[in-house]
Structure 1
Amino acid sequence: MAHPAGGCVASLNCMLLAVAQFGSIFFSPPRPFFHSTRRSFTFMETRARREYSSWCALTSGASVSESSSPNGPSRGAVSLDLISAKSRRLYRLLGVETEMERILLTPGGEHSPDDRNELVAGKGGPKKSRRSALVGWFEKKDVKAERVVYTADFTVDGCFGEPGAVTVLNRHQREFFIESIVVEGFPSGPAHFTCNSWVQPTRVDRNPRVFFTNKPYLPAETPPGLQELRRQELSDLRGEGGADTTGERRITDRVWEYDVYNDLGNPDKGAEFARPILGGEQQLPYPRRMRTGRPKTFTDDRAESRVEYPEPIYVSRDEEFEEGKNEMLSEGALKALLHNFMPLLVSSVSPDIRDFAGFHDVDNLFKEGLRLKQALQDQLFQKIPFVRKIQENSEGLLRYDTPDIIKKDKFAWLRDDEFARQALAGINPVNIERLQAFPPMSKLDPAVYGPPESAITEEHIIGQLDGMSVRQALQDNRLYMLDYHDIFLPFLDRINAQDGRKAYGTRTLFFLTAAGTLKPIAIELCLPPMTDGCARAKRVFTPPADATSNWLWQLAKAHVCSNDAGVHQLINHWLRTHACMEPFIISAHRQLSAMHPIFKLLKPHMRYTLKINALARQILINGDGVIESGFTPGRYCMEMSSFAYQELWRLDQEGLPADLIRRGMAVEDPTQPHGLRLLIEDYPYATDGLLLWDAITRWCDAYVAMYYPSDQAVQGDTELQSWYREAVQTGHADKRGAPWWPRLSTPGDLASLLTTLLWLTSAQHAALNFGQYPLGGYIPNRPPLMRRLVPADGDPEYAHLVADPHRFFLSALPSLTQTTTFMTVIDTLSTHSADEQYLGERPDEAWTADPAALAAAREFADEVRRAEEEIDRRNADTGRRNRCGAGVLPYELMAPTSGPGITCRGIPNSVTI
């Protein structure tokens, strides 16, 4: 619309979802992202409301226009662009009214007599325009374009100052989504208001929503007109002063609170479905998670009742998935997997083929597929969205994509050098450590677990050291180890008492060859002592000398891989990058205003994490869930995770350099580019990771320096100190007294803390997640579950091994049903969604009004791109044998960008899966 000369033009981006007509909601979804056809749906009102609550955020957009004159009140306009997106239903708009106010900063002067909002009262409070209703909704109710402009006229006082906030009151029947607001025409330039939030109707929330300018303000620098609004908004997010601060959270709430992990089991179903509470207990410490406030179970008043998938589980409303992610998970893969695929698959496989008869059966999952009954095939085609994996033919087959690990070399997984290479460049490259004393020693209580010394002797390994003595190999940094002895041993009696679960506590020694590659030289398999303090049952295996010892060696390696898979998933992946980050995210939303520069920095690195963690509690880490079903520890998986949190997790050692030094994989060296020297030069995870660590470090250093010129600035920032203090004292309450917590007293402290958090939520998580199917989809390479111990000569099973080693080996691995179930899960977990936002990217270009911050962000993005180019060069370097060679996979898990799907590369900004 036309505006008076010299007027101000504002734009507001939003998505509006409107009303019921005659008891029904009419949906007209826009053009899907992946498909070219349009579909229409009609749901009854109650159905639509429930479905909508469980679906996820929809990106949308809009504009507000106003004109003002320095000589007095003027007429203005508010316009709204509506963006529709795939799978989001556009409600027809009938008689909708949405009120908006502009809150403008003043130095504390008088207010217009027409101001009628109670927040106006008091000297120095916010000065506001009059409320105005958006118009044109009915006329544009059928528009299907991505953006549709809506307008609203309002009066603006010519004495208004710089824009500081906008309030929105939603008077129609449905919530709507506002993406951003832009105000132009002021001497200070355009004012941007990043919203990205659902606004509830007044029947749900009678209070107007407040959206602040994108101009960053430390608490002490907040203009007087915004101080109370800033305080009140944080109070609302903490749930203070609400009607119900102890009851169950509604799906429309925006409240952030803490709770323990007391919803993993379901004791009301029976004792076998109960699980211990993690957190708040000295024996089972754990980070806190988002509080939902659901009622307690009938049989245990400490356990929270469960909400089973796909029913929605509470997270703050704005943490729900956007369309792309929701398509991949909530409406797609996981729902089909858990509610259609698994039961049908299990019922279609007859008992006599539950085990693999030979390796050809494993290969056929990728070549021919899984034979299904025709009726089941028909149901699968109707219900499962994995259509690319279902090959339509007369036999009825379900075919899996060939994992990368066997694409280049079908037998690579059998080789010792590949087994060792994956410790440096696989899906779990963060447990390899340098052996600094021989023999290895346990840290467990010898009064309970027996003598601490390893059973590996010099005689076992001396012939594998290229003529060196053990002492010389230690001095020359040539001996390395994977040590899962102490994490597994306390649980082995209980693990092995479960049906179909067998495990050891393993140690594996490697020798660093002159070529810069590792070779395994000994594997130790340990069982607990029969009685406290007695010697443990220990067996040592060395590289084979004949056919029988070759298969014993392969079984020993499989048990190491099973240990490794469990530690990877339960500790390095879930605990360190999901669970331990959740308290920092909760505290950030409770204690840091959206105007705070540190919140603006953290925002893209918190995206989706709370929702994905909530889904994990529903379907992955819960009792009898995917993790318990698929990994050897079974029902003790989360207790092992708690044990690792208690014994191993320290925030001060979670950064990459500190972790490498802790594991003895690097030593400090100021002459080196990264300030440390790697003891294995071709360590792909570490060399690529250090490129990104340095980029993140420089970004955080530069950003912090813009706002904190002194120690006093850090110490005097009340919101910043409250954020960190609450994350430690409440979010990690079970470890709050630990002496190693980093201080937050200087700009350097802050930059270091932020670097660690950004590293964990981006590069570290990506390195541990997106290779799961490419490297673990071929189960013999990396069995997550073992069902047999290694037989000894004289055992009845030993004869079976000698008679048919292939069949015996496969019978020790997961069954056919367990294998296909696990493959389907990690297929989904390894997938990038179409709406992924990668490291260095910020789709909202107006995330801050600070030009220096924007310039630093661009430099960070450029540095990330340069790191990716260097990674590509390294993968083409034939001298780097751990990432290049015949049948060797390139190491791309630290390559920052990726397309959608399973790519074995790409670093999202946040923990998104």
Structure 2
Amino acid sequence: MENYTVTVATGTSEYSGTSNYIYVTLVGEMGESERTLLDKPGLDFCRGAVDEYKVSSRTTLGPLLLVRLEKERYWVEDNWFCRYVTVKSPIGDQVLIFPCYRWFVGDVMVEIREGTAKTHKEDALDVLQAHRKRELQDRQQSYRWQTWAKGIPQCIDAKTEADLPQDVRFDNEKRSDFQYSLHFALLELSLKKLAICFGNSWNNLDDFKQIFWKLRSPISEYCMDHWKEDWFFGYQCLNGSNPRMIRKCKQLPEKFPVTASMVQSSFPPRTNLDNELKAGNIFLLDYVIMERLPSNIIKGQRQYIAAPLCLLYQHPDQGLIPIAIQLGQTPGLETPIFLPKDPHLAWLLAKMWVRHSEFQIFQVLSHLLRTHLVVEVFCVATLRQLPAVHPIYKLLAPHQRYTLEINCRGRTQLISADGIFKRVVSTGGDGLLILAQRDYKDLTYRSLQPYLDFTDRGVSQLPKYYYREHSLMLWEAIHSYVSQMVSLFYQFDQDVHQDPELQAWIRDITQVGFMELPNFGLPSELSSKEDLSTLLAVVIFTSSVQHAASNNGQFDWCAWIPNTPCTMRQPPPSDKDAVTMEMIMATLPDVSQSCVQMAITWHLGRAQPDAIFLGQYTKQHFTEGPALELIDRFRKDLKEIEDHILSQNDGQDLPYLFLLPSRVENSITI
């Protein structure tokens, strides 16, 4: 008779415990233990419990391979979340850890592997190969691809979040907080609208201050004070919620006929436009992707969209400043070029139109498409093609938390036909999807790699580009960590190439997830450790750092509505001398739209109370010492980056802290 000490850990989130029957069977290389009922129902397996049991076997089991857990209903159905199981052998003091991190829903049996990461070729035993195969077959039944809309990435087959498997759903605390946060924001919105005694439109710019109640932040208030200033406009092009748009201008496009005399007053003495173009100090924002987008109709009123061009100059004293704006792609009398020397209100309104385009681009493209939807492809493929024992599954699992549910909620609540964007955003409805389809056609794997992206845009030397500086530091730390993890489990390039599960994973990504992107640039085969390391770094960077850069500051930059309006209610001005304050107020979002913009950007951009930040892993998927040492080293690298960013921002009136590692979540959870 052999006696094993078995410890079972129940989840710590709300409703993780169960009053149902739990059975365990130990499966060894030489046999199985008795199927053992683990104590009395209703007494053990409480939330957060770590319960210990004795499990016996009449025969020698040999090396343990699997732990079989079963849940059976007792009186009423009661789901259970198991964190892990440990087994202490009767011989010696060896304790094996079996990570689980799964929900047991209904009468169910689950077999879990010991925590040492194993690639396909390392499992020589037929029973373990069969286990890998069964696990993937079950997952492929649960996680299926679907086309939500033609011309954008494939997504999870779920009409709403309720259709998702429990393992990828929000915890109850997260679900409650998400719903409470949204209701709180919308309630304050309603109270504000009731408290404001005038009609739909605001009377003057100061009226927007009336919606700054509880929902406010230091940066939003700084924005309210400085939004009219040209240097602040330029600063947001570098460090706002859409820092990936700006690119060096080597030659003025024909469609933007700015002359040297037009902008001479923006330059210091003894230089001019031609000199600064040659010196590499001229930059361009081109919103051609928004040309002829269908605009939204809100409460029967047509909204308006522009496709501006904005020229910027890196001034030696003032920093990056706008020097010319054209509110359309076709020059002419109806699309004049606005300049800083124009009447103050005309220049101000031109900048508002650029910022309005920024709202559309950062929300739909930088945020939704290039983080949420791109990462969802990797989430689905990982769940379908990599078993839980695979080292790459273990590496990616923390960076997939909640992503499928938040994306389902986004499709049903935010960008759907009757969602929030349709209610208040100028691209709501058809325009939003067409905008995403246009950008998706040009999406490349290269553009998701920060070093290459900055090089291609010609912005590697732009000063005070904190987004670039911080994201590259984090990219280096992530890539180093991932490369060392890959080398831990793959000795040679051919080991990567000959891993059938890994090759099935990359084929699922390229041939299904991104199947409408023949020019994406990611091969359907992984040939080397470096190829794998770079791809994994892209996935982790995009789901953490890149998402934080677009998401975390959206309330800061959008709460003061004139700075980043969600919609425009009048067409762009065609006469610079005709711009009045009445025209501006009739163009900017009305009271209701302004309140919704403030509420939803607060709801989506606020810090999440259950956030798990970069480098922190509450679920111990890796159990072996060398992998844990690499995780510890990664954390030390992140701590150095944290200290550098804090030191750099000490005493700054306008700190850039969005990429502080302690504020960057591991995964896309909001």
TM-score by length of 1: 0.69
Partner residue in 2 for 1:823: 598
After superposition, where does 1:725-804 map in structure 2 within 5 Å? 725-736=507-518, 738-739=520-521, 741=523, 744-793=526-575, 798=578, 801-802=579-580
Q: What is the alpha-carbon distance in structure 2 between the residues aligned to residue 423 and residue 815 of structure 1?
A: 25
Secondary structure of the structure 1 residue equivalent to 2:328: strand
Secondary structure of the structure 1 residue equivalent to 2:359: helix
Could you tell me which amino acid in structure 1 is paired with residue 289 of structure 2?
A: I
How far residue 313 of structure 1 moved from its aligned partner, in angstroms, is 3.0
Partner residue in 1 for 2:155: 289
Q: Which has the higher helix share?
A: 2
Partner residue in 2 for 1:700: 482
Closer, same or farther: CA 89–213 of 1 in aligned 2, 3 Å? closer
Could you tell me which amino acid in structure 2 is paired with residue 641 of structure 1?
A: A
Deviations 1:264-321 (A, max 9, x none): xxxxxxxxxxxxxx22xxxxx11011113x6xxxxxxxxxxxx5xxxx5322220111
Q: What is the alpha-carbon distance in structure 2 between the residues aligned to residue 659 and residue 157 of structure 1?
A: 63
What is the count of residue pairs matched by the alignment? 663
Partner residue in 1 for 2:177: 328
Alignment pair present for 1:808 and 2:583: yes
Conservation of the 8 A alpha-carbon contact between 2:115 and 2:389: yes
Closer, same or farther: CA 165–415 of 1 in aligned 2, 3 Å? same
Partner residue in 1 for 2:629: 855
Partner residue in 2 for 1:517: 319
After superposition, where does 1:461-480 map in structure 2 within 5 Å? 461-466=263-268, 467-480=270-283
Alignment pair present for 1:98 and 2:22: yes
How far residue 815 of structure 1 moved from its aligned partner, in angstroms, is 0.7
Closer, same or farther: CA 695–100 of 1 in aligned 2, 3 Å? same
Deviations 1:649-669 (A, max 9, x none): 111220110110121112xxx
Partner residue in 2 for 1:411: 225
Q: What is the alpha-carbon distance in structure 1 between the residues aligned to residue 546 and residue 44 of structure 2?
A: 46
Alignment pair present for 1:12 and 2:8: yes
Q: What is the alpha-carbon distance in structure 1 between the residues aligned to residue 311 and residue 54 of structure 2?
A: 74
After superposition, where does 1:662-701 map in structure 2 within 5 Å? 662-666=456-460, 679-701=461-483
Partner residue in 2 for 1:892: 657
How far residue 625 of structure 1 moved from its aligned partner, in angstroms, is 1.2
Conservation of the 8 A alpha-carbon contact between 1:215 and 1:850: yes
Deviations 1:555-578 (A, max 9, x none): 000000000110000000000000
After superposition, where does 1:558-707 map in structure 2 within 5 Å? 558-635=352-429, 636-646=431-441, 648-666=442-460, 679-707=461-489
Moved more, 174-183 or 625-634: 625-634
Conservation of the 8 A alpha-carbon contact between 1:136 and 1:150: no
Match of 1:235 among 100, 113, 137: 137
Deviations 1:183-232 (A, max 9, x none): 23465832111111111222xx5xx2121211100001114131101110
Alignment pair present for 1:209 and 2:119: no
Partner residue in 2 for 1:393: none
Q: What is the alpha-carbon distance in structure 1 between the residues aligned to residue 400 and residue 601 of structure 2?
A: 23
Alignment pair present for 1:426 and 2:240: yes
Partner residue in 1 for 2:211: 365
Conservation of the 8 A alpha-carbon contact between 1:136 and 1:151: no
Conservation of the 8 A alpha-carbon contact between 2:506 and 2:525: no
Root-mean-square deviation over aligned CA pairs: 2.7
Match of 1:837 among 593, 612, 621: 612
Deviations 1:725-747 (A, max 9, x none): 11110111111465564862000
Secondary structure of the structure 2 residue equivalent to 1:407: helix
Partner residue in 2 for 1:22: none
Q: What is the alpha-carbon distance in structure 2 between the residues aligned to residue 907 and residue 463 of structure 1?
A: 42
Closer, same or farther: CA 214–236 of 1 in aligned 2, 3 Å? same
Closer, same or farther: CA 347–523 of 1 in aligned 2, 3 Å? closer
Partner residue in 2 for 1:163: 64
Q: What is the alpha-carbon distance in structure 2 between the residues aligned to residue 861 and residue 793 of structure 1?
A: 56
How far residue 457 of structure 1 moved from its aligned partner, in angstroms, is 2.7
Q: What is the alpha-carbon distance in structure 2 between the residues aligned to residue 322 and residue 496 of structure 1?
A: 35
Conservation of the 8 A alpha-carbon contact between 2:296 and 2:304: no
Closer, same or farther: CA 350–404 of 1 in aligned 2, 3 Å? closer
How far residue 876 of structure 1 moved from its aligned partner, in angstroms, is 2.8
Partner residue in 2 for 1:134: 38
Q: What is the alpha-carbon distance in structure 1 between the residues aligned to residue 39 and residue 333 of structure 2?
A: 78
Secondary structure of the structure 2 residue equivalent to 1:518: strand
After superposition, where does 1:259-270 map in structure 2 within 5 Å? 259-261=146-148
Secondary structure of the structure 1 residue equivalent to 2:227: helix
Deviations 1:465-520 (A, max 9, x none): 32323332122110011111x21113167889982412211111111122472111
Conservation of the 8 A alpha-carbon contact between 2:474 and 2:638: yes
How far residue 463 of structure 1 moved from its aligned partner, in angstroms, is 3.2
Q: What is the alpha-carbon distance in structure 2 between the residues aligned to residue 581 and residue 715 of structure 1?
A: 23
Q: What is the alpha-carbon distance in structure 2 between the residues aligned to residue 704 and residue 427 of structure 1?
A: 32
Match of 1:908 among 651, 656, 665: 665
Greater C-alpha radius of gyration:
1
Secondary structure of the structure 2 residue equivalent to 1:414: coil
How far residue 164 of structure 1 moved from its aligned partner, in angstroms, is 2.5
Closer, same or farther: CA 600–483 of 1 in aligned 2, 3 Å? same
Closer, same or farther: CA 471–189 of 1 in aligned 2, 3 Å? farther
Could you tell me which amino acid in structure 2 is paired with residue 176 of structure 1?
A: W
Q: What is the alpha-carbon distance in structure 2 between the residues aligned to residue 643 and residue 853 of structure 1?
A: 41
Secondary structure of the structure 2 residue equivalent to 1:748: helix
Closer, same or farther: CA 781–409 of 1 in aligned 2, 3 Å? closer
Match of 1:542 among 332, 339, 345: 339
Q: What is the alpha-carbon distance in structure 2 between the residues aligned to residue 133 and residue 89 of structure 1?
A: 19
User: Which structure ranks higher in relative contact order (CA pairs < 8 Å, sequence separation ≥ 6)?
Assistant: 2
How far residue 337 of structure 1 moved from its aligned partner, in angstroms, is 5.4
Conservation of the 8 A alpha-carbon contact between 1:594 and 1:600: yes
Could you tell me which amino acid in structure 2 is paired with residue 181 of structure 1?
A: V
Closer, same or farther: CA 462–856 of 1 in aligned 2, 3 Å? same
Q: What is the alpha-carbon distance in structure 2 between the residues aligned to residue 793 and residue 138 of structure 1?
A: 76
Partner residue in 2 for 1:189: 94
Could you tell me which amino acid in structure 2 is paired with residue 238 of structure 1?
A: Q
After superposition, where does 1:18-57 map in structure 2 within 5 Å? none
Conservation of the 8 A alpha-carbon contact between 1:743 and 1:749: no
Could you tell me which amino acid in structure 2 is paired with residue 9 of structure 1?
A: T
How far residue 762 of structure 1 moved from its aligned partner, in angstroms, is 0.6
Could you tell me which amino acid in structure 2 is paired with residue 288 of structure 1?
A: Q
Match of 1:177 among 81, 84, 97: 81
Closer, same or farther: CA 749–147 of 1 in aligned 2, 3 Å? closer
TM-score by length of 2: 0.93
Conservation of the 8 A alpha-carbon contact between 2:223 and 2:560: no
Closer, same or farther: CA 740–461 of 1 in aligned 2, 3 Å? farther
Secondary structure of the structure 1 residue equivalent to 2:78: coil
Match of 2:291 among 489, 511, 522: 489
Q: What is the alpha-carbon distance in structure 2 between the residues aligned to residue 418 and residue 410 of structure 1?
A: 11
Deviations 1:321-345 (A, max 9, x none): 1244223214x1235656x676x56
Could you tell me which amino acid in structure 1 is paired with residue 634 of structure 2?
A: F
Q: What is the alpha-carbon distance in structure 1 between the residues aligned to residue 48 and residue 217 of structure 2?
A: 41
Percent identity of the aligned residues?
24
How far residue 257 of structure 1 moved from its aligned partner, in angstroms, is 0.5
Could you tell me which amino acid in structure 1 is paired with residue 539 of structure 2?
A: L
Conservation of the 8 A alpha-carbon contact between 1:258 and 1:288: yes
Closer, same or farther: CA 139–767 of 1 in aligned 2, 3 Å? closer
Secondary structure of the structure 1 residue equivalent to 2:285: strand
Secondary structure of the structure 1 residue equivalent to 2:335: strand
Conservation of the 8 A alpha-carbon contact between 1:516 and 1:681: no
Deviations 1:415-454 (A, max 9, x none): 11111111111121111111121x225xxxxxxxxxxx22
